[in-house]
Amino acid sequence: MIKRFTAISRVLMFVSLAICTFIVIAYIRVAAISLNSVPNAIKMNISDILTVAIVHLVWGLIIEISRNVIKIGEKLGIKSDEVSLEDSPWKCAECGNVNSSKCRFCQSCGRPKHADLNPGDSAPWKCSQCDSYNPASSAYCMSCGKPKVGN
């Protein structure tokens, strides 16, 4: 999806640039024909040309930056079509509890958010003081700070 957007955006930029070039040529012809108002027409044309050129420059830079970000992501193994924003709450498949999007484990039963987590991460521990579930890699309770029993 992102690649298609970038490709479409590049095509639109070049089409817009071609139209802009055509308009600039038309401005120059009009200025050359109307010799009486040449200085005013040239001033107006130069300001218009500079504005359009700056907009196209910025647009082109944004497109190139997005292309480079996609390339870097793909080199790291991230496919641009698979990137998703996980900003919504998730429902635990084990107990049905609705958890915050930032929670990696269910706050009710401790089940991992994603089934494809490493086996070491899939064994959360329950704090004996506050009954909160914590990731296996955590040495202290994330809620109350009590050390993990059995380190």
Compute the average pLDDT of residues 143-147. 85
pLDDT tens digits along 93-141: 878 889 888 887 888 887 887 754 444 445 778 888 888 888 777 778 8
* Count of domains observed in the chain: 2
Instruction: Tell me the β-bridge partners of 133.
Output: 126
Same domain, 59 and 73: yes
What's the predicted TM-score (pTM) here? Answer: 0.33
- Give pLDDT, residue 83: 47
The pLDDT score that the predictor gives to residue 121 is 47
Q: Is 93 helix (H, G, I), strand (E, B) or coil?
A: coil
Same domain flag for 98 and 28: no
Q: Are residues 74 and 101 in the same domain?
A: no
Domain boundary among 82, 112, 129: 82
Write b or e for each residue in 122-147: b if 16 or more Cβ atoms lie within 10 A of its Cβ, otherwise e. bebbebeeeebbbbbeeeebeeeeee
Instruction: Quote the domain boundaries for residue 20.
Output: 2-82
- Which one of 82, 109, 127 terminates a domain? 82
For residue 73, give the DSSP letter.
H
On whether both 75 and 97 belong to a single domain, the answer is no
Picking from 82, 103, 129, the residue at the C-terminal end of a domain is 82
Say whether both 77 and 124 belong to one domain: no
Of the ranges 2-11, 66-75, 133-142, the best mean pLDDT one: 133-142
